[in-house]
Amino acid sequence: MTLSHRNFRGENRYHSTCFMELTLTTPALLFPAISLLLLAYTNRFLAIASLIRGLHAEYQQSRSQLIIGQLRNLRRRLVLIRNMQALGISSLFLCVFCMFILYAGQPLVGEVVFGISLLLLMLSLLLSIVEIQISVKALNLQLSDLQESEPVFSGIRSKKRRKDVKP
């Protein structure tokens, strides 16, 4: 598809060659993916909320510093998941808005809106990667007390400890 815009004198102001034509069905293809992604984010949020409630009750009894570290990680994860959800919902909204713009006969504006929608979806996925890394850190924190107290787990070490240990 070649786009040309002419000014009042008939001269080309803008010329671009696109390899794909954006139709109403293109943004609609993202609906199932974004919906499943938002469902996964919601499940993560609910699981973390349940963990926080349980750890809070446990902390009230034990005052363990290990629990404080876990709660810090969970709080960071909650903030990330909230932002992931906001970006995912914004991406879905812009997909619908893009379809409206395309329906209104503005393909160039629709392409820009769709591009922004894809960018928001990518940012949401990037935050998801960060949240997973924090989750792994929380699990390592949980396992750290087992490594110190149980001989069965003494051979399991985090990457940081492996660097310190000489073969």
Q: Is there a domain that residue 98 lies in?
A: yes
Task: Using CA atoms of 93, 97, 102, 108 in order, give the dihedral in degrees to the nearest 10.
Answer: -90
The answer to whether the beta carbons of residues 83 and 127 sit under 8 Å apart is yes
- How many domains does one find in the chain? 1
Q: Is there a domain that residue 67 lies in?
A: yes
Q: Is there a domain that residue 1 lies in?
A: no
Each residue of 3-52: pLDDT tens digit?
Answer: 444 445 555 555 555 556 888 888 888 889 999 999 999 999 999 999 99
Structural domain containing residue 130 = 31-148
Each residue of 117-139: pLDDT tens digit?
Answer: 999 999 999 999 999 998 887 78
The answer to whether the beta carbons of residues 13 and 2 sit under 8 Å apart is no
